[in-house]
Amino acid sequence: MAIVAVAVVAGLLLSSTWGSGTVQFLVHDAPCSQCAHVWVTFTTVSVHEAGTLGGRWVEVNVSGARLDIQALNGSGAAKLLGIGSLPVGHYEQVQIVVSNVTVQLLDGSTLFASVTGPSGDFNGQFDVKQGATTILDIDVDLASSLHLTPGPGGSMTASFTPDIAEVGVSGP
């Protein structure tokens, strides 16, 4: 199972009545046994604020963050995906959007994966509080997100739909 970790760090923002926190997204550990590289371009990470009429999604733009998540396999290292702002509050769902995936196979061939939809919403309760830090670790299962399909003449096609398997929360 591959892991994409997303860390949400909430701090005190003195200029706001309601407050907001800093959001820092990290990515690590995403193995693919047939891949040399898996470059993923992330567009947004969205979280759903609990108790809002009609359901309010708060979106953090990480557009243009392109990471070779395969290169991080087993290293224990994490790469910064992006930093944004998240209002203080109680949240209950997480969703990620990917705009582009390029796969280089072990034989050196390159595939441009078709990307479909955002990840399914993952239900997980967490709070962002002023002056405190909340960390979200989002596990994305690469085995069920990236689909490599043999084609005619030994060619290969790829498709990618982000699949969030688990969300871990630490903090206040």
pLDDT digits (tens, 9 = 90+) for 82-109: 666 778 888 888 888 888 999 999 999 9
Q: Output the 3-class SS for 110-158.
A: EEEEEECCCCCCEEEEEEECCCCCCEEEEEECHHHHEEEEECHHHCEEE
Q: In this structure, is residue 31 part of a structural domain?
A: yes
What is the model's pLDDT at position 22? Answer: 62
Instruction: Using DSSP, state whether 8 is helix, strand or coil.
Output: coil
Q: In this structure, is residue 66 part of a structural domain?
A: yes
Spell out, as residue ranges, where the chain has pLDDT lower than 50: 1-17
Domain that holds residue 76: 20-170
Q: In this structure, is residue 76 part of a structural domain?
A: yes
What is the model's pLDDT at position 14? Answer: 28
Q: How many domains does the chain have?
A: 1
